Amino acid sequence: MGYREIPGRKFALVGDDVQLGRDVIVYEFANLYGCTIGDESRIGTFVEIQRGATIGRRCRIQSHTFICDGVTIEDDVFIGHGVVFVNDNHPNVADTIAGIWTKSPVHVGAGANIGSGAIILGGVNIGAKATIGAGAVVTRDVPPGATVVGVPARVSLRIAAMFGSDPTSDLDPSPPATAGEIPG
C-alpha cells in the first residue's frame, strides 16, 4: 500500500486506500489506512484509524485516539484525546495468528461526544448526542442523549439532575441493556 501526500504535513500517513472526503484536515503523525473519512472532519496528531473504520462528516478526532476496524462514527461526533476503541473483547494470540477472531463492531450516533481517555468496548452502540465522560469504560449500549461516567460507565443521576431532565427520557423504544445508575 502506498501513502498519499498531504500538503504541508510531512509525517501524516494517509494510505492510498483511504477515502478522504472534501476539506478533511489530517494533522502531523496521524496514521490512516483503509478507512473512510467524511467531509470537513479533522483528524488530530498521533491518531490511528484502521482499515474498515468509517468516520462521518464534521467530526473532530482529537490527538492520540485509536479507532479500529469495525467502528462506525456518524456525523458531528466529537472524540477527545486518547480515546481507545476495542473490536475484540476476548483477544488471544492463537486466534489472531489463525485469523479467526470475531470482530465486535461499534457504532457511535450523530452528535455524540466522547471524553478524553474513554475506552469503548466491542459491540457497543452509543446513541445520538450521548455524552461519555472522560475516563469512562463503556461496556454496554448508551441511550441517545444520555450522559454516562465511570468504570464501568453508568448513567449518573447527579449529572442528569443538573441538566434538569431524566437521563433516560430519550431511550429507544427497545432500550439496550444499559447502564445501571450511580446513585445520587
Residues that bind ligand COA (CB under 6 A): 62, 80-81, 115-116, 131, 133-135, 147, 149-150, 156, 158-159, 162
- Report the candidate in 34, 25, 21 with the shortest Cα–Cα distance to residue 6: 25
CA distances from 96 to 49, 90, 99, 122 (A): 19, 11, 5, 16
> What's the CA gap between 60 and 44, in Å, rounded?
8
CB 132 to ligand COA: min, Å: 8
Pairing of strands 19-20, 36-37: parallel
Q: Closer to ligand COA by CB, 52 or 143: give it.
A: 143
Measured from the CB atom, is 12 or 160 closer to ligand COA? 160
Of 128 and 134, the one with the shorter C-beta distance to ligand COA is 134
CB of 68 to ligand COA, least distance (A): 20
Residue keyed to cell 447527579: 158
In whole angstroms, how close is the CB of 121 to ligand COA at the nearest point?
A: 17
